[in-house]
Every structure is written in C-alpha cells, then in structure tokens.
Amino acid sequence: MKMNIEIECTPLEAREFLGLPDVQPMQNAVMEKIQQKMAENIDKFSPEAIMQTWFDPKMAERFQDMFVNMSGLGAGRTRDKK
C-alpha cells in the first residue's frame, strides 16, 4: 500500500514546524556586510584601475627582471672564470 501526502507550506513554515532556527536575520546581516565591502572596493575593479595596474611602467620592469632571473642571466648567477 502506498500513500502520498502533499503539504503546501512556505520554507519559513516548514522550518518552524521542524523546530529549525530562523536564519533570515543572520542572512540579511551577512548580505549587508558583503554589499558594503563590494561598494567600498568597486573602484579597485573598474576598467581604468585594472589598466593602470597592468600597464604601469614599474610593472614592465618587474616582468623584465622576472624573465631575466628565470633565464639564469640575472645577478644571482656566478660568472665562469677564464
């Protein structure tokens, strides 16, 4: 014998019926903090800021130094004596 029971209720009503805590206030507080942090840092991720970071003259020097050091031609390598 099979029996199907369908219950129509909201998620809040189901949580209350099962004795689970209401996490809505905590979720709202966390979302407010996330939105606040995103609003504070939105300028760092603008296209202008990203382009300035990537095409900074100092960044080109850093990449050049990195490639020189990786190739073994950097100052850390000892030269052979003749």
d(CA 43, CA 1): 64
Rounded to 5 degrees, φ, ψ at 6 are -110, 130
How far is it, in rounded angstroms, from Cα 50 to Cα 33?
A: 24
Asked if residue 57 belongs to a domain, the reply is yes
Residue 62: what pLDDT? 83
Q: Is 15 exposed, middle or buried (0-12, 13-18, 19+ CB in 10 A)?
A: middle
Number of domain units in the chain: 1
Asked whether residue 56 is assigned to any structural domain, the reply reads: yes
Domain contains 24: yes
Say what the pTM is: 0.44
Rounded Cα gap, residues 41 and 31, in angstroms:
15
Q: Answer yes or no: is 4 within a domain.
A: no
Domain residue limits at 59: 11-71
Residue 23, token pair as written in the block: 């996490």
10-63: pLDDT as tens digits: 988 999 999 999 888 999 999 999 999 988 888 777 788 777 777 777 877 888
